[in-house]
Amino acid sequence: MTAIRERGLERECSFTAARSSGPGGQNVNKVATKIELAFHVINSQLLSDEEKATISEKLSTKINEDGYLKVSSSESRSQAANKEAALEKLYDTLEKALIKPKKRKPTKMPKAVKEQIKATKRKTSEKKASRRMDKSDWS
């Protein structure tokens, strides 16, 4: 499996520019610097069917009903910098989705530890029992 970044997914992405919110003063009102990236997961020719299924399953909340994974960036006052930031976010998101979790190896609790737990419980129980008063002491 080759790295996601080396496949050139930017060819399959569509970019739209919009007016950004946040810092920038009057520049924000004049210049469309916010970048919205849309990547269609199912129609991608650079991803395998297995990868598409994994991404669709893990990122189902981030993929809209049309099948697009959308990422936006408005961190910079530069459109080019925001485009790079949006691509970076896309790659990070896809890489995290494609990480396979390690399978848990079930472990057994050692007998000595079980005995130690029982002994501690027994001591605590005896201690609390010794604090209790008999009903005959109430009269």
CA–CA gap between residue 60 and residue 66 (Å, rounded):
12
**Residue ranges of domains in the chain, CATH in brackets:** 4-98 (3.30.160.20)
Label residue 117 by pLDDT band (50, 70, 90). Answer: very high
Q: What is the pLDDT of residues 7-35, one digit of tens each?
A: 778 888 888 888 877 666 676 777 788 88
Q: What is the pLDDT of residues 34-50, one digit of tens each?
A: 889 999 988 888 888 89
Contact 37, 9 (CB under 8 A): no
pTM over cut 0.75: no
